[in-house]
Amino acid sequence: MNFPNKIEAKRIFLERPYPPTLALATEIYDEVSASKDHLAQWLPWATDTYSLEDALAYLKDWCEAHWQTEEGFAYLIREKETQKFLGMIDLMKVSQKNQSGEIGFWLTKKATGKGYMLEAVKALEQEAFKQGLNRIVIQNDTRNIASVNVAKNAGYHLDGVLRQERWSVAQNSFRDTNVFSKLKSDQ
């Protein structure tokens, strides 16, 4: 697979987080810290213990490592006009054998509700289908309405709900997970 370092969309661009520098980790850490309350209800890693070291480790140990093995492709989401960091989007669990992958994403609190994520999902899925994938999955908490709406508005099909699939420390309860998918033929 030959995913590009940059994917252009109308108002945003997706950028490979490379090289994994302390400056880049600081940029991510600062935005996560400012959006922690917003993110913590849906993302188990967005806690009070999240650190600059965690951000740097993510860049080195997940983003770069998965890019090298072609099992995942992480991108920063940036606004074209200002170059401002808005969030992250990953194509993960890539299986060349099964021609499939899963998209995961998050936005800073300030960036939500503006359609940026819908734009990012469409840009990444188009590249993934171009690279030979046939099926893309998006999973989200059934109560995460913003994430559910992104999947629906991007034309993903609700395959089903995994009941009480995971424990949420933030919610102090078991959570249900939606499984959405889109096939190359659905475009």
The CATH number that applies at residue 36 is 3.40.630.30
pLDDT digits (tens, 9 = 90+) for 39-92: 999 999 999 999 999 999 999 999 999 999 999 999 999 999 999 999 999 999
Which pTM was predicted?
A: 0.96
In a domain, 75, yes or no: yes
34 lies in which domain range? 6-186
**Amino acid letter, 89:** I
Nearest to 146 by CA among 101, 182, 108: 108
Q: pLDDT higher for 170 or 108?
A: 108
The answer to whether 96 and 1 have CB atoms below 8 angstroms apart is yes
In a domain, 122, yes or no: yes
Please state, rounded to an integer, the average pLDDT across all residues of the chain.
96
